[in-house]
Every structure is written in structure tokens, then in C-alpha cells.
Structure 1
């Protein structure tokens, strides 16, 4: 029995915890019964997320990085090991903004916009780097256009980081990817990289990781219409139709 299994056996059944005393104005008995059943599933989902996170933390040491990649940053060149700063953990996000793109990926941009606001808190715990193959000047210009203040941008156009850790071919398109690196005793190792993509997607769903890192989808999943498979974030929006402002 694993420690996670033992911990699970110590927990009260979700259906016992899901006897909510809350009541909303005008709700029916049918609504309350269905809502409590949903609450039990939400509790189970939270527990499963905790189990997966514990399994992730228990991964054995990953591979040592093959080289100390050198990047172009907003204030000059620096290496992957230098990106850690005062931390022992570095999270990187590969932004789909390669040199062949006229404009960056709207989905990536939506995610990065939310992370920019969270970055002062994230940087208290870990280092975080946004990496793309475009020249750093293009990346910084877009950062200013969007009003981002806290994201740290780095160009990987002069190294093989995207090939090694985002599964990108030099002459092909670009991929979004989260990676986590650790530094211990001067040795930098890969700890985790997301591996969910089109080949792991369920029918009728967009490929995405678990948990989903994009806050917009988390919010829309709370609504009656959900994610709407035919709607995606855009870089710009025109005037809202009458009655929908």
C-alpha cells in the first residue's frame, strides 16, 4: 500500500462531506439533490488532483540537462542555470511565437496574460521564464503592447532548447510546453515536462494538460455553456454586439 492509498483510506467518504447546508434563493429539492451529488464529485476531483500532484513530486531524478543553454534576455545574455536566480526550481513556458509567426499564438497569449498578474506571487517560490524562438526585440515589443509587467522573456533562437524540451523541429512550427528544472549541488536536472497533446486528447476535446493551466477554461467550465468547442481566445476583439457589452 502506498502512502497515498493509506491517506485515502483515512478520509471520510465524499458523499458524507457533500451534505451541504447551503441553500440559494428559490432552489428546488431536485436542484439540491443534484447539486450535492455534484459536490461529492468535486470533492473526489480535488482529492484526485492531490494524488496526482503527490505522484508528480515523487518522480525519481530526471535527466541532467545536456548543456547550459544560453539565451538572449531583455537585459542581455544569460544561461539556463542563471535563470534560477536565488531559487532551486525553475519553471519554463515555451511560448508559441516563433520567427515564422507574424503574431503570437492567441491561446498562449491568454495564458501568459493571466500569469503576468500572478508572477509577483509565483516568483516568491520559484523562478519562471517565458521562452520563444523569436528575437528578443519582437518578444519585448509584444510584451509592451499587452501591458505585461512581470513576465521574464528569453529568446532561444540561438540554441536547441526548444528542440530538446518542447519537441520542436528547427524548420517546423512551434509548440507550447511547460517544463520544470531543479538545481542541486550545481547540477541542473529536468524534473517534469507536460506530455499531453493531440495524441492523448479524448474525442471531441482540445488537447490540454491536467490540471488545465488556463484560468479562462476553469471559469468557463463553471458556466452552463462550458468551454464552447468553437470558441477560442483572440489577440484582439471588435466592438461587442448590441446587448452584449
Structure 2
């Protein structure tokens, strides 16, 4: 992205917009142009945040005793693999910890909805990075739910000893599993943590759900385009 000082004012760009919708009123067009200014500024802010994220200094080296059972292990009875195996042939790894621990009768509906979105994009993501979905339930149990949902592209792993989930904030102080998003890098033989989602209940505005922006879930982004918005009393379910 160009340096901020070289950017045209968002109002000037919005004024050049020639899009018009059928039968719109002058009042609508005036309000829509004002909204377009904000959308331009939002895009610029997202780009600035992404650039700031990419410029983070090296994160902490990954040193824990982390052991995972992958999907192949459930078939061949293989031994657990270490953390580096999750990278495969890539040097950047995105890990999503989903809320499907052994004490849960069913997975978290929000995690389920998010992973359904991620499943549809996993093949595209794996062109550039490695992807791993980690849960605390046995790998056989996770696979059974994957089959039920019809997921085709998500690589599932069971955190055998819970150390990874504990260290990278997927287990709360009370021992309950929670969702977590983390990115790791492998450079010159050294694996480091690059970024992890830290927005949560402590950082949420009053009466607002915590969210990681931009939201990974296409569900919320589409609802944000509608007059009803996300609402305050609706969340996705596993089945309807």
C-alpha cells in the first residue's frame, strides 16, 4: 500500500464514484457517498493493520513438548508427531484450535460454522501456507464429526498432552477449552510464534461480543451488509 501521505482524500475518491442504483433517491445517494468514504477509510485501516502485523519483530521460539495425532494415525496406529510435522513443506503455519474437547457432547456451533467456511478455502490457503485444526478430543472423534459435516479439506489433529493448547491460549484458567488462532513461522530451521489473536472479553467494548477483525467468518461479513445486521440474539447452530 502507498504511504498514507500520498493517498487521495477518501471524499475525493468517493465523489468520483459513478455507480448508481435503480430508482434511488437523492437522499439515498448522498448517504451512500458518505458511507463510501467510511468504507474507503476502513479498507485503508485494514491495510495499515495488516502491514503493522507483517512488520512484527520475531516472536517467541516454539520449544514446548507438543505432540499431535493426525488423521493418518487413526488408520495406521502411528505414533504422535511433533509440532514441526504440522508445517509439511511450508514455512508458515496457521493453527485453529476448535472447541471440541472430550467433555463436550458436541462441538461449539460457532467453531463449526467457522470451520465450514475454512474448509471451502483450505485448498486455496494450502497453496501458500500450512493449515492445522487442533482439538482436545481423540482424533477418531474429530474425524467422525468431520465426516458428519462433509468437510473435505481440513487437516485435523488431536493435541495429545494438551501442552500446545495450554501454552497458546486454547485452554482457559478453569480448564475449559476455547477457540484460538495462531500463526507460526519456520525460518532457517527455527520455529517461532508470529501472531496470535488477542482480542477477547477483556478488550471487547461494553455489551459487544469479542471478535477478531477482519472476521474469519464470511457469515458475519455478509450479515453486516444487511439492514438487520448481525443481531444480538442469534448465533449459528450445528443443525436447524
TM-score range, shorter chain: over 0.9
CA deviation string 1:28-83 (max 9, x = no partner): 00100000000010000000000000000000000001235220110123221011
1:181 Cα shift? 0.4
Contact 2:181 2:196 in 1 (8 A): yes
Contact 1:71 1:159 in 2 (8 A): no
> What CA distance in whole angstroms lies between the structure 2 residues aligned with 1:167 and 1:125?
25
Q: Which runs of no fewer than 5 residues in structure 2 stay unpaired? A: 74-79
SS in 1 for 2:99: coil
Contact 1:93 1:179 in 2 (8 A): yes
Q: Does 1:42 align with 2:39?
A: yes
Q: Which stretches of structure 1, 4 residues or more, deviate above 2 A after TM superposition?
A: none
Aligned to 1:21: 18
Aligned to 2:154: 151
Aligned with residue 177 of structure 1, among 180, 203, 217: 180
1:86 Cα shift? 1.0
Aligned to 1:85: 88
Q: How does 1:114-133 map to 2 (within 5 A)?
A: 114-133=117-136
Normalised by the size of structure 2, how large is the TM-score? 0.94
Aligned to 2:190: 187
SS in 1 for 2:3: helix
SS in 2 for 1:181: strand
Contact 2:59 2:193 in 1 (8 A): yes
Q: Does 1:224 align with 2:227?
A: yes
Aligned to 2:69: 72
The count of aligned residue pairs is 233
Task: Give the direction of change, closer, same or farther, for the CA distance of 1:142–1:170 in structure 2 (3 Å limit).
Answer: farther
Contact 1:68 1:81 in 2 (8 A): no
1:203 Cα shift? 1.7
> What CA distance in whole angstroms lies between the structure 2 residues aligned with 1:178 and 1:165?
9
Aligned to 2:171: 168
Contact 1:98 1:132 in 2 (8 A): yes
Q: Which runs of no fewer than 5 residues in structure 1 stay unpaired? A: 238-245
Aligned to 1:112: 115
SS in 1 for 2:81: strand
> What CA distance in whole angstroms lies between the structure 2 residues aligned with 1:220 and 1:199?
25
SS in 1 for 2:207: coil
